[in-house]
Amino acid sequence: MSPEYQDSKNCKLELQYAQTQGKRIIPCIVSDKKGWKPSDWLGLITAGLLYINFKGDDSEENIQLKAKELCDRIKEQPSASTPPSEPTYLMELLKYEYIQNSCVNRVMNPEKSFPIEQSYINLAIVKAKEQHQKEKQLRDAQHGDAIMSSFEEIYGMKTAIDIKDIFETCKNQKKQVLVFGRAGIGKSTFCRYVAYKWATGSYWPQYELLAFIPLRRLTTNRYPLLPPGQSYSLIDLVKTEVFPYDLSEKDKILLKKHYDTKKILWILDGYDEIVQNVPHHLEGLFEQLLKTPHHILTSRPYLNTLSYNVQMEITGFIDQNIIKYVEQFFDQMKDELDDASIQSEKLLSFLQSNASIWGVAHIPINLELICSLWSNTSWPETEKLTITTLYSMMTEWLCRRYLTAQNIPIQKIPKTEVSQRCQKELVFLESLAFKAMESNTIIIRPTLLEQVLNETKVSLQDYPHILNIGILKSFNKQGTGTQIETDKDHYFVHLSFQEYFAARYLINVLKDVSFRSWSP
């Protein structure tokens, strides 16, 4: 034991877990700090135990004497007298795993990660009905000021719902909530955050088990076809996806014995990623998941075929949280940037002086890219950052993320190749933006969408995710709506994105005209 050991969160978790398992604890002091003794959580665990002090006399004879004392204690000291209760042992293991793996990786450099407690900024979660009303205002807006006002309604101040209160609107004993969110809005991070908060005891202690299931893992590789008459159960899913290692036969029996669906909260992430690709032999398992009495299901708005009484939408950051995120981002980089706090202030000043960029910064993926791009380049000191430069770089990284979702490795792909691989998608977005501006409209009606798909020769069968790169958002018109994505209205996530892609379209047209004019 040492002051460094006492300050370590991981060491604290490991020793607390060992205590719950009834493991023998023999405290050894190895601190150079004179007179140091454990306190706080470490003092509580080791209270009443006899210490072996390796410090004070560094002679080889003393070290050998202390080592012999430790060996004798290991042989003679009995295990803790009170073994942990059966289900508690498994749940403590799971909570430990959620806490240990609660880091957030950077999009531009996944090797860099930070604890979720230090990185997560509360997202605005609103009732889906309220969000749809704001989008309808955008559809009805005719003039520039009204359009910008409507975008501010979508991205500005919101009546947000506290995450821990998300079940309050459920009117019966079943707690089932569908949470929408566009690409890059933070749905998966939200899921990992609630798992972490449950593990620390902050959220929903009434549930003995929280099962976080990324639905994209329901594949034939992970769940091979079983012999006739056999099928996978929800317990099989828990054993494979929830626990970090292969359970022993004893633990499997224990889990089955204490499995109680009424005391399990399922966090099901990514309905849209699996709904069209569920292996035939897993369809029954998938249906069981959707019928569990207590769950949160996340999905992008497109491809939704579900009917839930309680629907929420993650709409991104509120204004105050943009400021908090930027300050926190650069605070985490203070060891790498000499002037991290100054760059934080400069970026906030830049964002607040550019209404367009301030608008798109409400989307977490965009704000992370903006912060990363700002910190990675020298433009704050040498030249003025143009909106075009920023949007160009943001588009590149949204394309990289789009390619990653299709299992295309992006680490060695240069910028030019990213554009080539996404050429069809970019041409489509450029044409769509220009045609909408030409029609003096922000809302892209199904007829215009179909027209541009045909003109750019884009088939949704060949490019099933083209509407879901993170630049467009769909919503249903008044009435019952539709599940067919091309029959929905769409809009660019911010007017400035539409203007940027329309400008790209014009530049390419002018380049083409110029080329033909000069061709012999």
- The residues spanned by each domain of the chain are 3-84, 90-316, 416-518
* pLDDT on residue 117: 80
Identify the weakest region by mean pLDDT among 92-101, 286-295, 453-462.
92-101
At residue 98, the 3 state secondary structure works out as helix
User: CA-CA distance, 429 to 440, in Å (whole number)?
Assistant: 16
- Asked whether the predicted pLDDT for residue 149 surpasses 50, the reply is no
Q: Note the helical H segments in 332-413.
A: 340-352, 355-360, 364-376, 379-382, 387-405
User: CA-CA distance, 305 to 111, in Å (whole number)?
Assistant: 36
Match 């060949």 to its residue by tokens.
Answer: 462
CATH topology of domain 90-316: Rossmann fold (3.40.50)
| DSSP-assigned letter for residue 444 | B
pLDDT-derived band at 145 (thresholds 50, 70, 90) equals very low
Mean pLDDT for 164-179 is: 90
* pLDDT on residue 44: 85
User: CA-CA distance, 255 to 90, in Å (whole number)?
Assistant: 8
- Asked whether the predicted pLDDT for residue 141 surpasses 60, the reply is no
Higher pLDDT, 383 or 448: 448
- Asked whether the predicted pLDDT for residue 153 surpasses 60, the reply is no
pLDDT-derived band at 150 (thresholds 50, 70, 90) equals very low
- Asked whether the predicted pLDDT for residue 86 surpasses 60, the reply is no
User: CA-CA distance, 279 to 457, in Å (whole number)?
Assistant: 30
- Tokens, residue 93: 């293991």
Identify the weakest region by mean pLDDT among 143-147, 332-336, 447-451, 495-499.
143-147
| pTM, entire model | 0.70
In DSSP terms, 316 is beta-bridged to: 124
- Asked whether the predicted pLDDT for residue 157 surpasses 80, the reply is no
Tell me the average pLDDT of the chain. 81
* pLDDT on residue 441: 77
User: CA-CA distance, 443 to 139, in Å (whole number)?
Assistant: 6
In DSSP terms, 311 is beta-bridged to: 178
- Asked whether the predicted pLDDT for residue 515 surpasses 50, the reply is no
Cβ pair 180, 313 in contact under 8 A? yes
Cβ pair 87, 258 in contact under 8 A? yes
pLDDT-derived band at 231 (thresholds 50, 70, 90) equals very high
pLDDT digit string, tens, across residues 188-208 = 899 999 999 999 899 999 999
* pLDDT on residue 148: 44
* pLDDT on residue 401: 85
Number of C-alpha atoms within 13 angstroms, CB side, residue 492? 26
Q: For a pLDDT cut of 90, what percent of the chain falls above it?
A: 24
Mean pLDDT for 381-407 is: 78
* pLDDT on residue 382: 41
Non-local CB neighbours of 21 within 8 Å, separated by 6+ positions: 83, 84, 89, 92
The alpha carbon of 435 is separated from its chain's Cα centroid by a whole number of angstroms, namely 34
Mean pLDDT for 277-304 is: 90
pLDDT-derived band at 289 (thresholds 50, 70, 90) equals very high
- Asked whether the predicted pLDDT for residue 373 surpasses 50, the reply is yes
Cβ pair 396, 373 in contact under 8 A? no
On the 0-12 / 13-18 / 19+ scale of CB atoms within 10 A, 428 is buried
Mean pLDDT for 293-297 is: 97
Angle, helices 187-199 vs 86-100, to 10°: value is 140
Mean pLDDT for 336-346 is: 89
- Asked whether the predicted pLDDT for residue 28 surpasses 60, the reply is yes
* pLDDT on residue 428: 94
Could you tell me the CA-to-CA distances from 411 to 376, 402, 415 in Å, in that order?
Answer: 17, 13, 11
- Tokens, residue 327: 């300050």
131: left (phi over 0), alpha (psi -120 to 50) or beta: alpha
Helices (H) and strands (E) in the chain, counts: 23, 12
* pLDDT on residue 195: 95
Number of C-alpha atoms within 13 angstroms, CB side, residue 223? 25
Higher pLDDT, 475 or 4: 4
- Asked whether the predicted pLDDT for residue 156 surpasses 60, the reply is no
Mean pLDDT for 462-473 is: 84
Identify the weakest region by mean pLDDT among 33-47, 79-93, 137-151.
137-151
Mean pLDDT for 475-488 is: 65
